[in-house]
Amino acid sequence: MKRNETKRYPNYMEIDGKRFTRRTIEVLQGEEGVEDLRDEWIPIAEALDYPEKFPFLVSDILDVEKSKELRRALIRIQIDAQLQLNRDLDFYKKQLFISETIELLLFHRLRLRPRRKRKKKKDDEEKDEKKDLQGKEAPVDDEETDDEETDDEETDDEED
């Protein structure tokens, strides 16, 4: 697919009668000065440039063939969106959301998101504490005993 360069809008290009920002196409393709975009990636580019159209493009995006190149393109978009947040927070947050959602829909997990540690259950915490205290006496917290004595003294003063 060749872009239709117009001198009036040097930061935009036309593909299949649709206007895209040059930056989005270049980041998707992974190189500057690209002249084409895969036909199947057009709905992705459209969703990235026009976030309000994303809900209507989901079915077309789900038909896109999963490939390493596509995953790398989505990762590049996520990185670029993070780097560009200072320029236009709202737009790049939407672009980040869209690229992460597409990656989740197609690949079922995010490559750039660190895995969250699972929360320990209460039973697991108690087991860990027992392991730590085996063979050791339970530590005495001197601060608690001091606080209790102070409270007793205050009540004695109030009674007098």
CA angle 25–43–65, rounded 5-degree value:
95
Q: Per-residue pLDDT for 136 more than 70? A: no
pTM, full prediction:
0.63
Q: How far apart are CA 118 and CA 138, in angstroms?
A: 28
Place of tokens 């504490």: 129
Going from N- to C-terminal start, the domains of the chain cover: 12-107
Instruction: Identify any residues that bridge with 15 across adjacent strands, giving them in sequence order.
Output: 18
Residue position matching structure tokens 């026009």: 50
Average pLDDT (76-100) is 93
pLDDT on residue 111:
86
pLDDT tens, residue by residue, 1-34 = 444 444 444 688 888 888 999 999 999 999 888 8
Whether residue 56 contacts residue 16, with contact meaning beta carbons closer than 8 Å, is answered with no
| DSSP E strands, 7-156 | 12-15, 18-21
Identify the pLDDT of residue 14.
Answer: 87
